[in-house]
Amino acid sequence: MHLTHDPAALPADTIDFDDFLAVDIRIGTIVSAEAYPDARKPAYKLLIDFGPGIGHKKSSAQITENYTLDALPGRQVAAVVNFAPRQIGKFLSEVLTLGFADEAGAVTLFAPDKAVPNGARLF
């Protein structure tokens, strides 16, 4: 599957509901954020708390254009928590933090419009 930032792109192929359920998307709260100057594309290293069932997980997120480091701790974000960890340079990213491209192509984080418990699952 090819991911695109083009809002005019055609939708992806149809999948079964069970395929959707296999993707575990949860809410977590960013505990800390730090610069990741070794990344090929500008990124931050995030530590996200997904509650007692999942715990703290690390994520590399290319969100430097829309967010400052000091604005991220305490913010809730959505992430896929059941992908295999991915090596991003020297950093092991354990979850995929979700976002949408804005008009300029920069990532805007996806989050609930009111606080929900860490670890809550998207359905």
* Residue 2 falls inside a structural domain: no
pLDDT at site 10: 87
Sign of CA dihedral 22, 25, 102, 37: negative
The domain that holds 40 is classified in CATH as: 2.40.50.140
How crowded is residue 45: how many other Cβ atoms within 10 Å of its Cβ? 19
Q: How far is 49 from 22, CA to CA, in rounded Å?
A: 21
Tally of structural domains, the chain: 1
- Which residues lie closer than 8 Å to 98 by C-beta, 6 or more apart? 25, 77, 78, 79, 80, 109, 110
pLDDT at site 1: 36
* Residue 119 falls inside a structural domain: no
pLDDT tens digits for 5-55? 666 688 889 999 999 999 999 999 999 999 999 888 999 999 999 999 999
Position 66 confidence tier, pLDDT thresholds 50, 70, 90 = very high
